[in-house]
Amino acid sequence: MYCNQCQEAARNVACTTRGVCGKRESTAVLQDALVFALRGLAYFGDQAAMLGLPVREHGLFVAQALFATITNANFDDDRFVALIREALQRRDALKREFLAAYRAHQGRDFAEALPEHATWNAAGTEAFLAKGESVSPLATADPNIRALRMLILNGLRGLSAYVDHAAILGYEDDDICRFLLHAMMAGA
């Protein structure tokens, strides 16, 4: 566990055994796995948006899922397992949609090398926990790069809280959804 997303972080650095907020290690690790899965969805979401495909629903899902990872918004491990499963299902469905659209637009298959978060798949809680351990913030060795990535991710968490609240009230915005997908793809 390595969580440094709020001002309550242990020693003003990070919570590494149990959160000062009460977050358990399993919850923190599942949240890291969820962020990894969301990056895979965002990879294809960003590509799909560039082809003009509608991605609002995926952007709103990313907002809902990221909001769930904020400090003490949700400590329910089962909820995070369900969100990871949905992120993987959405990613694979969007991938098929994007690859077909790319072929139709370009007259050839998409041939870029895919990052691991665009291809990783697993089905159970244990596998999600194992992935979360391996993709924690500490997986980024350079502390400056890690700090920049966490700055972006934690900023997107805050943005997502407002996007999700607005969506519940009936206000949705394509540009914000596309930005969220692009930022998750590029920097989180």
CB-based contacts of 65: which residues, under 8 Å, 6+ apart? 34, 38, 83, 86, 87, 160
The closest of 91, 89, 87, 114 to 33, measured between CA atoms, is 87
Q: How far, CA to CA in Å, does 107 sit from each of 52, 94, 101, 102?
A: 16, 19, 10, 8
> Segment near ligand SF4 (CB under 6 A), from 5-13, 120-128, 143-151, 152-160?
5-13
Verify binding: residue 20, ligand SF4, rule CB under 6 A. yes
Q: How far is the CB of 85 from ligand SF4 (least distance, A)?
A: 23
Of residues 64 through 123, those in contact with ligand SF4 by CB under 6 A are 71
For residue 53, the minimal CB distance to ligand SF4 (Å) is: 35
- State the virtual CA torsion across 44, 94, 180, 82 in degrees, nearest 10: -120
Residue in 13, 17, 21, 31 binding ligand SF4, rule: CB under 6 A: 21
Kindly state the number of chain residues that form the binding site for ligand SF4, as judged by CB under 6 A: 12
138 binds ligand SF4 (CB under 6 A): no
Check residue 125 for interaction with ligand SF4 (CB under 6 A): no
What's the rounded Cα separation, in Å, for the pair 176 and 171? 11
Using the rule CB under 6 A, give the single segment among 17-25, 131-139, 142-150, 156-164 that binds ligand SF4.
17-25
The answer to whether 63 contacts ligand SF4 (rule: CB under 6 A) is no
Stretch that binds ligand SF4, among 13-21, 117-125, 147-155, 161-169 (CB under 6 A): 13-21
- Residues 6+ positions from 146 with CB-CB distance below 8 Å: 137, 138, 140
- CA gap 105, 69 in Å, rounded: 37
Q: Does 132 bind ligand SF4 (CB under 6 A)?
A: no
Q: Tokens representing 144?
A: 């400056």
Q: How far is the CB of 3 from ligand SF4 (least distance, A)?
A: 3
Residues in contact with ligand SF4 by CB under 6 A are: 3-6, 8-9, 15, 19-21, 23, 71
